[in-house]
Amino acid sequence: MALITYREALNQALREELDRDERVFIMGEEVGYFGGAFKVTDGLIATYGEKRVRDTPISELTIVGAGVGAAMGGLRPVVELMTINFALLAIDQIVNTAAKARYMFGGQTKVPLVIRAPQGGGHQLGAQHSQSLEAYFVHCPGIRVALPATAADAKGMLKYAIRQEDPVMFLEHESLYGMKGEVPEDEDYLVPFGQAKVVREGKDVTIIAYSKTVHDALIAADLLENQGTDAEVIDLRTLNPLDIATVLESVRKTARAVVVYEGWLTGGAGAEVAAQIYQAAFDDLDAPIQRVASADVPMPYNRHLEAAALPSPDKIVRAVERIS
């Protein structure tokens, strides 16, 4: 195991997959000589050259469209968008082409495309650069949606994503890039999709989270322990496919659930998780499911207002207290 940052784990995954498969290449704005907006691709162009680490014009629609075409043509592109907010400029290529090509061609073509993008608030970047848009893509059949919370998962899940035959939205929270963790150095280390992880066992309440909110949930669980409440924390890892079985097993044990996500409260991915729990385990619940999410407002720029709009450990604790 090596103790490295989330950013370094992603870089390591890209290097290993570029070495493993000559069909893999990277493209995006400033991914080459600048090393990417968050330095995930730093140093790759020096090793692999401009053919496999391609700087592109500032046109997300073009970048993703070219990625879709390359994937359908037999390559395995990893497209980097500077932020998920800019994916809205490419939404037609993502939703109407990448997600549907395999279905509409009757399985005669595949789209092994990975779209990497940072997202999330907490950095005073304003309303247009602080969004968490995973629900947009979870809503669309045909797209895998992955949101690693740790450095180890960042590496294992990205390697797994690159080897898939379906398009993957690979979403990285901006607050996680500098976070360190132990990461396997095995070049065949993979974290399969659709396998949620119980990151903290407990018996009194289930806290379901993904991406950065996993860390918020773990802090909240420690605070709750001081109050005598034993919280179980689940990291969903992927939203499509969604491992609802692991969630239901936990909820049937604890009889209480809190779903935490950074997307907007209304219509967020966590609302879908809550709906599936109600549908499958309504009689097992002793209290209504609670949701902790971002407020239904454009993200404020002011530091204090931004914090007020985002989920936090304290808000998770209060949600648990409401149903205890």
Residues 6+ apart with CB under 8 A from 21: 76, 162
For residue 282, the tally of other CB atoms under 10 A from its CB is: 9
Residue among 60, 174, 232, 272 flagged as catalytic: 60
At 94, give phi and psi (nearest 5°): -70, -50
For residue 132, the tally of other CB atoms under 10 A from its CB is: 27
Q: What angle do CA 255, 263, 127 make, to 5 degrees?
A: 155
HSE-CB for 22 with a 13 A CA cutoff = 0
Q: Token pair of 92, please?
A: 């037609």
List the beta bridge partners of residue 294.
264
Is 321 in the active site?
Answer: no
Residue among 8, 80, 129, 262 flagged as catalytic: 129
The SS3 call for residue 260 is strand
The SS3 call for residue 317 is helix
Closest by Cα among 263, 274, 320 to 297:
263
Is 129 in the active site?
Answer: yes
Catalytically active residues are: 60, 129
